[in-house]
Amino acid sequence: MVAEVIINRTAKKLNTTFDYNIPKELEDYIVIGSKVLVPFGKGEKLEEGFVIKIKEKSEYQIKDIKKIEDNLTDKQIALAKWMAKRYFCTISDCIKLMLTPGTRTRNKEKRVQDKTINSIYLKKDIEDINNDIELGKIKSEKQKRILEFLKNNEGSTVQEIEAFTDCSRAIVNTLVKNGYLEIVEKKVNRNPLINKKVEKTNKLVLTEEQENAYEKVKNTIDEEKYEQFLLYGVTGSGKTEIYLQLIEDVISKEKTAIVLVPEISLTPQILDRFISRFGEGKIAILHSKLSIGERHDEWEKIRDGEAKIIIGARSAIFAPVENLGIIIIDEEHDSSYKSEVTPKYQAKEIAKYLAKENKCPLLLGSATPDISTYYKSIPDVNTEMISNSNLEIQPQKEKITLLKLTKRANKSSLPSVEIVDLKEELANGNRSMLSVELYSQIEENIKNKRQTILFLNRRGYSTFIMCRNCGYTVKCKNCNISMTYHSYENKLKCHYCGHEEKVVTVCPECHSDKIRYFGTGTQKLEQEIHKQFPNASTIRMDVDTVTKKNSHEEILNKFKNENIDILIGTQMVVKGHHFPNVTLVGVIAADSSLNIDDYRASERTFQILTQVAGRAGRENLPGKVVIQTYNPSEFSIQCAKKQDYDLFFETEIAIRKQLKYPPFCDIIVIGFNSESEEEIKKTSHIIYQYLNTSLDKTKFIIFKPMPSPIDKIQNKYRWRIIIKGRMDEEANTVFNNCLKEIYKTNLKTTRITIDVNPNNMM
């Protein structure tokens, strides 16, 4: 027998298969999807590849497959092929997500018992590493093997690397020296399920609303058919209880459930809810902090059919589940479900594919659904707006059944929200970061020994300009997105269309000269708190304090267990935990997320404010939220105050429709990355021309190639083309053909990626 094999290393350039003979002794084991080692190229070097077809004979002189490493099912291969086309990547990029982590060594001793261990992480982007390998910058086979291994197993120990790659510590050290790897000393996170004593809980009697929602989904489980649901209900409305009861039904039918949650919310508290209902034996947990040995064991537990519930972050959707009975995606609006590295997939789309294939329901849950998800769940909204471009509106023809929960299940009330106008504070001579209102609330809270969370949403690179007198910010007249200040050119630029404007020094609205660059750090806020409340204890959580060493969870535990007065943090504070003693949440400046250079700025602001507000007063103590802003009348802030998602949605969807943003089209970003600016210019221009002649102009707007907002990283130029339109089957084929054409031109250093609706436009 003969196998068609795609070679991993060359997949990007060739994406074609090579024939290999299947030796007699391997015939019983090799199936479509086997990961194999084959001799390839000069010197008979062994390369890793995947079998994608098996046939009787070959027309060529062929060599033998040398070794088999892992097997995938036909269904997994089909999914990988579907993904490769949809996400413009190679089949082997996709197959890698489905392989068992590590190799076949069910080695319990790997569960390291030390208090701290040295873990190894990649220091460069996976794509940069791939590129360096392709360009021959890394020549040593052993170095390549270690990098390949770490791509899927970041955080492994040196011992693990030695065992799995058969390389010595010295090679790891060389890679560290050359800037590819970093060593991080880390506390051991043992498998969260080990030795856990959790009391058993039983199902609760559902409220009428819960019962309604539950019945609808249960019917599709019983009838074994695909249907997509959106369970929309405020925090505490009993969504999780519904998940638990549906999973119970799925298990009683001898089927399996996948539950996706954002990585950051995979906390013991969430897991306890599942363990207390079902017992740990039936549960497999997949997240990035497990050691490779543990991940391997969880994977096998799933493959053996022992695990009936798989809980994990984005990539858990690829767990080797047979007999899927339901897929649940909690906090479905969360941006972590979209992968920002190749393959740039959206887990919700994979979930839909799998739910259809397995004829089972897909249940999305959220208190603040993604605008695009919610849009698909309601009859067309009446948005009478005149469009400002000739692009045709392209509604998505997909149906999601809406299930609504309007009340909190445990009858606790929603917190009261107050908005403070920072312009008035300034006018009254208060130049500190805390308004009079927030100051007195914090003072009161400290006196009552209650805890406070202060939230400051600041994003890395972008700086915007705002008038402190009237709240005016400079927005692009074409895109309605905050323009970003570029200090080296002293200009404002729109990161979408490239429109430029001069820097203003006097406010065009109110003519005041209090117009400034905006941005404040958590560190500065902490200093100010110490000055104003010298006796208060504080803890800070942001990208500086949350490292691979100190997890997000450890900081939150400390805050809770040591009853620290004030937690100061960025976005990270809004997810996961719940703190019974937190009664006050302060948002220092809601404006920062409003002015990110992204069409989702209002949506993100509303989501964040609603989530932050949800942190206050979750048990029997009433909660209070103070939102400080220069734009108190901004609709996303007003809607967050009222906790009125529906009103927010109606306003936002009208804007999206008018300006042609998702869900009315997709935003497609073709990224170029190269050492040669010449080659980038040439390549991007060829693609631009190709698309201009191949795409229907009434359905697509194609912006000219231009440098990305961050236009150079590590001496590599970055350019991009932005396209608005619907990435349907037809367009997908055009883009794939375009890539094929461009790869024929023998690119020297340029790397091209295509990303549909990326999270980050940098």
110 near 292, Cβ under 8 Å? yes
Q: Cβ 243 to ligand ADP, closest distance in Å?
A: 8
Residue 467: contacted member of ligand ADP, Zn ion, none (CB under 5 to 8 Å, by partner type): Zn ion
- For residue 585, which phi and psi values (nearest 5 degrees)? -125, 130
Burial 685-720 (b: 16+ CB within 10 A, else e): eebbebbeeebeeebbbbeebbbbbeeeeeebbbbb
3-class DSSP state of 234: coil
Distance CA 273, CA 245 (A): 12
Q: Cβ 366 to ligand ADP, closest distance in Å?
A: 9
Distance CA 329, CA 366 (A): 9
Which residue in 78, 378, 497, 621 binds Zn ion (CB under 5 A)? 497
Q: Between residues 476 and 625, which has the closer beta carbon with respect to Zn ion?
A: 476
Which residue in 193, 453, 494, 601 binds Zn ion (CB under 5 A)? 494
Q: Cβ 721 to Zn ion, closest distance in Å?
A: 15
- Does 667 sit near Zn ion (CB under 5 A)? no
- Does 464 sit near Zn ion (CB under 5 A)? no
Per the DSSP assignment, residues forming a β-bridge with 416 are 624
Q: Cβ 216 to ligand ADP, closest distance in Å?
A: 16
Distance CA 31, CA 598 (A): 46
Q: Cβ 576 to ligand ADP, closest distance in Å?
A: 12
- Classify residue 137 as exposed, middle or buried by CB count within 10 Å of its CB (0-12, 13-18, 19+): exposed
Q: Cβ 558 to ligand ADP, closest distance in Å?
A: 24
Which residue in 1, 78, 414, 470 binds Zn ion (CB under 5 A)? 470
Q: Cβ 405 to ligand ADP, closest distance in Å?
A: 7
Those residues with Cβ within 8 angstroms of residue 545's Cβ, 6 or more apart along the chain or in another chain:
555
- Does 469 sit near Zn ion (CB under 5 A)? yes
Q: Cβ 662 to Zn ion, closest distance in Å?
A: 16
Distance CA 166, CA 469 (A): 64
Distance CA 363, CA 354 (A): 12
Residue 88, both tokens? 């413009």
Distance CA 220, CA 228 (A): 10
Q: Between residues 333 and 468, which has the closer beta carbon with respect to ligand ADP?
A: 333
Which residue in 20, 40, 455, 472 binds Zn ion (CB under 5 A)? 472
What's 463's DSSP letter? Answer: -
Residue 601, both tokens? 């700025």
- Does 479 sit near Zn ion (CB under 5 A)? yes
In terms of Cα–Cα distance, which of 29, 70, 64 is closest to 50? Answer: 70
Q: Between residues 242 and 422, which has the closer beta carbon with respect to ligand ADP?
A: 242
315 near 286, Cβ under 8 Å? yes
Identity at 417, one-letter amino acid code = V
Half-sphere exposure of 749 (CA within 13 A, CB side): 16
| Cβ count within 10 A of residue 291 | 24
Distance CA 237, CA 719 (A): 45
Residues that bind ligand ADP (CB under 6 A): 204-207, 210, 233, 235-241, 409-410
Which residue do the tokens 């603040």 mark? Answer: 368
Q: Between residues 442 and 721, which has the closer beta carbon with respect to Zn ion?
A: 721
Distance CA 670, CA 656 (A): 22
Residue 240: contacted member of ligand ADP, Zn ion, none (CB under 5 to 8 Å, by partner type): ligand ADP
Which residue in 95, 317, 350, 467 binds Zn ion (CB under 5 A)? 467
Residue 100, both tokens? 């068992």
3-class DSSP state of 626: strand
Q: Between residues 133 and 206, which has the closer beta carbon with respect to ligand ADP?
A: 206
Residue 410: contacted member of Zn ion, ligand ADP, none (CB under 5 to 8 Å, by partner type): ligand ADP
Residue 478: contacted member of Zn ion, ligand ADP, none (CB under 5 to 8 Å, by partner type): Zn ion
Q: Between residues 349 and 501, which has the closer beta carbon with respect to Zn ion?
A: 501
Q: Cβ 206 to ligand ADP, closest distance in Å?
A: 5
Q: Between residues 403 and 483, which has the closer beta carbon with respect to ligand ADP?
A: 403
Q: Between residues 55 and 477, which has the closer beta carbon with respect to Zn ion?
A: 477
Q: Between residues 202 and 487, which has the closer beta carbon with respect to ligand ADP?
A: 202
Q: Between residues 236 and 293, which has the closer beta carbon with respect to ligand ADP?
A: 236
Q: Cβ 214 to ligand ADP, closest distance in Å?
A: 10
- For residue 320, which phi and psi values (nearest 5 degrees)? -75, 70
Q: Cβ 241 to ligand ADP, closest distance in Å?
A: 4
Q: Cβ 332 to ligand ADP, closest distance in Å?
A: 13
293 near 107, Cβ under 8 Å? yes
578 near 614, Cβ under 8 Å? no
Residue 375: contacted member of ligand ADP, Zn ion, none (CB under 5 to 8 Å, by partner type): none
Q: Cβ 479 to Zn ion, closest distance in Å?
A: 3
Q: Between residues 63 and 408, which has the closer beta carbon with respect to ligand ADP?
A: 408
Give the β-pairing of 416-421 and 624-629.
Answer: parallel
Residue 157: contacted member of Zn ion, ligand ADP, none (CB under 5 to 8 Å, by partner type): none
Window of 215-223, 503-511, 636-644, 667-675 that interacts with Zn ion by CB under 5 A: 503-511
- Does 483 sit near Zn ion (CB under 5 A)? no
Q: Between residues 119 and 377, which has the closer beta carbon with respect to ligand ADP?
A: 377
Q: Between residues 131 and 240, which has the closer beta carbon with respect to ligand ADP?
A: 240
Which residue in 510, 536, 655, 706 binds Zn ion (CB under 5 A)? 510
In terms of Cα–Cα distance, which of 687, 416, 433, 471 is closest to 566? Answer: 433
Kindly list the residues in this chain that would bind Zn ion in the complex (CB under 5 A). Answer: 467, 469-470, 472, 476, 478-479, 494, 496-497, 499, 507, 509-510, 512
